[in-house]
A and B are shown apart, each in its own frame.
Chain A
């Protein structure tokens, strides 16, 4: 074995390097751990419970947590353990769909706006500026409230949310591309005759990935939050065991007044875990994307 290969084999693999970084970056580590726990809960849940028990009239009503129903049942006869599993999955689905589409729109508009500049930039920027002071959640209330209640599905929820949820990413990407555009490596690429598309995808995009990842997590966070908010107001797909829906129906039946404490508290704790882990992951990615913060810690 030559020296060079020995050195190569001693060098830690990419995986271990990533692991080491995560150990230093506490918030990313905790956030990812909680997220893994939630994913495991949902996956194992789907393997062991019957998803049909998440819907009304499938279990005894108003049972406190016991061996038979570990998380209890609600007024309408849902097994809350099943409801948590299905609700968690649906929340994740809304978050990923809305977050994914929102990020794509944001990255696209941000790129177009910053890279081509001029009139297009002015239009996109003005639209973002005008939409910013409008409380997005309230407009979503109008959209969701105007729909026929039977038409509201998980997919529709995600689309409602994404409709007004792309401005943040657009502005972030725009400002990043604006600074990156002026960097020397872009100028060099331009002088070497690389086309617009080549510069966007080969030069700027790779440097932008951490920002896009962070923006995606923010988008997912906002989508989960918005869907929760709409569901708590009774604007979600009412039959589905979405976490916000469960709190809404619990509150409608006066769960605390009647002593059914487990009913609203379980979705609340699940929501804390979801939003908390997303917030921690976001803080961790921020540190990864922003070396200035990395140094000061």
Chain B
């Protein structure tokens, strides 16, 4: 039974990744832009070769990249390559493959994502639960309101506003980059502190931009649970507020909120990417940004596919966490 479920979800995962790959395969071929022509036309503007040579170069490169093969053949090769995690070479940083570009960029993005997502999830849910909890002190309930007001402000704009107020006006924190000029990331304590200082604003932008959503959904659920009979019963049984809060409120909201987290993953990752671009932090976002600026198509497609696969995998993986959170599912 369990095995069949796992099999079905993994199959679903493969279908999702296959669909995304096909979209990424088809779209550039529908467009009349030729990535190679674009690239060499750019080079030829700075001089070097005549238009005749340009056509020859394009033909030779098309052959080398297999772009002269029939579309069906290309599609098969492409899917095969993706299975091997081979997205081809970066046009801009040539000897590097796209996979290498992604692998060098991923650790910092992952770090930023993990810290900000976990923090905003915990803070948001806790504040939301407390704000719906009648016995919570008033100042805690008041604290939730400003966060709710921030729901409409996406992390990118939050980043610009933070840069202006804290980085520019108050000059408290650096305006961008991962290191102060002159400080070499050599693994010493001071270089780590410097990096940490540079990470505060981007993390804050991501956290502030997403906490409000968690507060809102958690509060809505908290209000509903309050009216439930079992909470009433627990109160009459004489359970302390702390126990009711922990075992009745939080426990029952855990599953829907975990589901919401899984659904939000795509948005979370994409906001982290833009924030990285905005703050000039090294990472996937930076790589994507510079690839877009320099028409480095293989890198753009590689990154998009990689993130799609990662998000879809995480979403499916989350489903296997549900039984751990909810005994009702476990018993089924």
Contact = CB atoms under 8 A, between A and B. Distances in A.
Given A142-B304, A148-B33, A229-B270, A234 B16 contact: no
A229 B301 CA distance: 17
Interface in A134-156: 134-139, 141-143, 145-148
Contacts of A275: 152-154, 157
Contacts of B236: none
Interface string B143-173: 0000000011110110011011001110000
B127 interface: no
Interface residues of A, number: 43
B237 interface: no
Contacts of B164: 256, 261, 264-265, 268
Contact of B270 (A138, A147, A256): A138
Contact of B300 (A137, A142, A256): A142
A256 B176 CA distance: 9
Nearest to A131: B19
A131 B266 CA distance: 12
Q: Taking each of B15, B152, B263, B300, which has the highest tally of chain A beta carbons within 10 Å of its own beta carbon?
A: B152
A247 B16 CA distance: 33
B19 A134 contact: yes
A133 B161 contact: no
A183 B120 CA distance: 42
B308 interface: yes
A234 B293 contact: yes
A233 interface: yes
A234 B292 contact: yes
A139 B156 contact: no
Given A141-B288, A145-B292, A229 B175 contact: no
Nearest to B18: A130
Contact of A135 (B19, B152, B308): B308
Contacts of A289: none
Nearest to B268: A135
A232 to B, nearest CB: 6
Interface in A262-282: 264-265, 268-269, 271-272, 275-276, 278-280
Contacts of B304: 138-139, 141-142
B15 A135 contact: no
Contact of A136 (B266, B277, B301, B315): B266
B33 A235 contact: no
B289 interface: yes
A66 interface: no
A130 B153 contact: no
A134 B20 contact: yes
Interface stretch (B24-32, B82-90, B182-190, B242-250): B24-32
A230 B296 CA distance: 17
Given A134-B308, A142-B304, A233 B161 contact: no
A41 B246 CA distance: 49
Scoring B31, B301, B304, B311 by chain A CB atoms within 10 A of each residue's CB, the highest score goes to B304
Contacts of A276: 152-153
Contacts of A147: 31, 33
B167 A256 contact: yes
Nearest to B161: A268
Contacts of A264: 160, 163-164
Contacts of B311: 133-135
A296 interface: yes
B307 interface: yes
- Enumerate the 5 nearest inter-chain pairs by beta-carbon distance, A residue then B residue, closest first: A135-B266, A276-B152, A279-B152, A268-B160, A146-B28
22 contacts: A131-B19, A133-B315, A134-B312, A135-B267, A137-B267, A139-B20, A139-B308, A141-B300, A142-B28, A142-B300, A228-B154, A232-B277, A233-B277, A233-B288, A234-B289, A247-B160, A251-B277, A256-B176, A261-B168, A261-B169, A265-B164, A279-B151
Interface of B: 12, 15-16, 19-20, 23-24, 27-28, 30-33, 151-154, 156-157, 160-161, 163-164, 167-169, 175-176, 223, 263, 266-267, 269-270, 274, 277-278, 288-289, 292-293, 297, 300-301, 304, 307-308, 311-312, 315-316
Given A145-B297, A269-B161, 15 more contacts: A133-B311, A135-B269, A136-B266, A141-B304, A142-B24, A142-B304, A146-B28, A146-B30, A148-B33, A229-B274, A232-B156, A233-B292, A261-B169, A272-B152, A272-B157
Interface of A: 129-139, 141-143, 145-148, 225, 228-229, 232-235, 247, 251, 256-257, 259, 261, 264-265, 268-269, 271-272, 275-276, 278-280, 296
